[in-house]
Structure 1
């Protein structure tokens, strides 16, 4: 039985306005690519490297948050009921919002992505704002010496990077690390839910 077609649930909507992004697997591939681009850009010598890194970091956070939207829409009612149990008992959230709270509880890094995505969309704080998450943290600058044997004539002796950082309850962490942890969690969640094997169901 296809995901989303169990008794009491409706057929998931078809992805007809998302170009070639048709499945949750496609969404995960998009997220992985954005994280890779962020990591590469942070080593760029462009004067706009920090700006471009910010674009990729925000896009990746948005994608990560939207992956959970797709998951919710392709899940069966039975799956949704089980997912809702992951939220803390004290949470008063209902439905899809409670599902998001449960994901945040299981993966704090997802909660950071959710906070970034929410702030980027709305700017102003609302009831979903996590004030522990801040991105106005100075970039971390470092140099990585070239590896002996891999250098060619004209190559620099070291690569310099400007790494975006995020502050949360867990401390100050590289944004790429937060996003990578979120990607791993979401990929594992989708795998265990049966969304990455066989035919894919689009939201």
Structure 2
């Protein structure tokens, strides 16, 4: 199965990105934009764009699975589907189980689209980290995810996690390739 590299001919509104692997590379570029942001607005934009891309990877993977493969016993078992047809939600659930940062991206994606947020977390820009200051460069705020349990996650780590997760799916290191 080559889900990640299957050309999706219907992806005509994606400026030439036509498979899940090309979207995974887009996610990597968003992560790089986050790391190399020159101002807070650029970092915020890259955080949101990265989260949106990471969450939508589920749909790209789903669309890359051929109709024939959607009935594959092996793929269904891999995703934890038993006794029924596979659905997009199975890919989403699998991704969230395998990489908890995908769930954070889902919440950011839905919150940025619907102007409402998952009440279990809050995304905000935080005080800049003085250790990030480079000569001649302004301090840039960090994007932080505050969870309902009082813990916090730096968006830099969230993006690194999803880049790693989806990157493994694109390479020989994963069964979804």
TM over 0.5: yes
Distance 1:95 1:162, change over 3 A: same
Matched, 1:167 2:116: no
**2:18 is aligned with 1:18:** no
Instruction: Tell me what 1:193 maps to.
Output: 175
Q: Quick check: which one's helix share is greater? A: 2
Aligned: 1:122 with 2:111: no
Structure 1 spans left out of the alignment, 5+ residues: 5-10, 88-93, 148-154, 196-203
In 2, Cα distance between the equivalents of 1:13 and 1:3? Answer: 14
| Contact 1:62–1:113 (CA under 8 A) maintained in structure 2 | yes
- Root-mean-square deviation over aligned CA pairs: 3.1
Q: Return closer, same or farther for 1:3/1:97 CA change in 2, 3 Å cut-off.
A: closer
CA distance in 2, matches of 1:31, 1:64: 6
How many residue pairs match? The answer is 164
Q: Normalising by the residue count of structure 1, what TM-score does the alignment of the two structures yield?
A: 0.68
Q: Equivalent residues in 2 for 1:9-158 (5 A)?
A: 13-41=9-37, 44=38, 49-75=39-65, 76-77=69-70, 78=72, 80-85=75-80, 95-124=87-116, 130-136=118-124, 138-144=125-131, 155-156=135-136
What SS does the aligned partner of 2:146 have?
A: strand
3-state SS of paired residue (2:129): strand
Larger Rg: 1
What displacement does 1:52 show? 2.2
1:13 deviates by: 4.5
| Cα deviations by residue, 1:40-70 (Å, 9 ceiling, x for unpaired) | 11xx3xxxx2222111111111111111111
Aligned residues of 1:135 and 1:165 also touching (Cα < 8 A): yes
List runs of 5+ in structure 2 lacking aligned partners.
none
Alpha-carbon distance in structure 1 between the residues aligned to 2:44 and 2:132: 25
